[in-house]
Amino acid sequence: MIWLRKTALVLHLLRGLVTCAVLFPWLGVSSRAWHIRRWSRRLLRILGVELEVVDATGAAVHGAARQGAMVVSNHISWLDIYVIHCWQPVRFVAKSEIRDWPVIGWLCDKTGTIFIERGRKRDAHRVLHNITDVMLQGDLVGVFPEGTTTDGTGVLPFHANLMQAPISGGLPVQPLGLNYLDAATGQPTLAAAYIGDTTLLQSLEAILRAPRIKVRLVIGPALVPVSGDRRELAGSAREVVVHLSQGAAEQALDAARRLNQPGSAIEPEPATAAIS
């Protein structure tokens, strides 16, 4: 019954709060990552969301190599963060307003989210330096370059501002592709989409009442910046993410091989400053 799942969700959120408040100050990086991954997987189970994580060849994936990189993905739901955490805990860059969300905002803060005040150039410069530093220390930093959520039927142009961080650090970009499907039919579902004027509580209610959902996370091949042009890098990353999110694995692999060759960057689409 749905009220049992709501009760389990409340208890799980409380467990997350206690873990962050009591244990995290005493834990090392690997132990924190273990707790974040386990908590995220349990969250998906409570919400009735199945998870499949594969690479572009279709092989199962069980985590990322310990190397600093910028993780980029299409953005459909607030659940995207926890889906990616199930694969590998990532320090996400998010708009500062999320910090004020009840419970979720506090958890994001305590699990390493890097908040940015949109529209403030000075803050964007601060965040760029912060991102570069933590990636050079071996952390993965997650960005949703579309700048907003969509219904998952397409991928918006990628904003390029934060792409300067991997260029400055000489670090790779790791593309991901997300799809939410009806677990019974395999067809796309909008149940998890966090779009329009939907509130967080309304989104939770929709997910809990929907038929069982399956989320597919596809890990693409890493992209190496081949020029100092962040717009070119953003366009290249978007091309691979589009293929991954559409299930076009061969095209994603071919695009990555081509884009990793010097002088092969595609013409980027116009981008403006926005962070989600």
User: Residue 66 has what pLDDT?
Assistant: 65
In whole angstroms, give the CA distance from residue 237 to residue 243: 10
In whole angstroms, give the CA distance from residue 170 to residue 167: 5
In whole angstroms, give the CA distance from residue 78 to residue 193: 8
pLDDT 10s digits, 135-185: 999 999 999 999 999 999 999 999 998 999 999 999 999 999 999 999 999
Positions of the chain with pLDDT under 70: 65-66, 118-121, 262-276
Question: What DSSP string describes 66-92?
Answer: S--EEEEE----TTHHHHHHHHS--EE
User: Residue 269 has what pLDDT?
Assistant: 45
The CATH number of the domain covering residues in 50-259: 3.40.1010.10
User: Residue 264 has what pLDDT?
Assistant: 54
In whole angstroms, give the CA distance from residue 133 to residue 165: 9
User: Residue 272 has what pLDDT?
Assistant: 38
> What is the three-class DSSP state of 43?
helix
Residue of 68, 42, 62 lying closest to 174 (CA atoms): 68
**Cβ count within 10 A of residue 160:** 23
217: Cβ–Cβ under 8 A, 6 or more apart, which residues? Answer: 51, 52, 53, 54, 83, 84, 86, 87, 176, 177, 178
Domain coordinates in residue numbering, the chain: 50-259
In whole angstroms, give the CA distance from residue 260 to residue 174: 12
User: Residue 276 has what pLDDT?
Assistant: 36
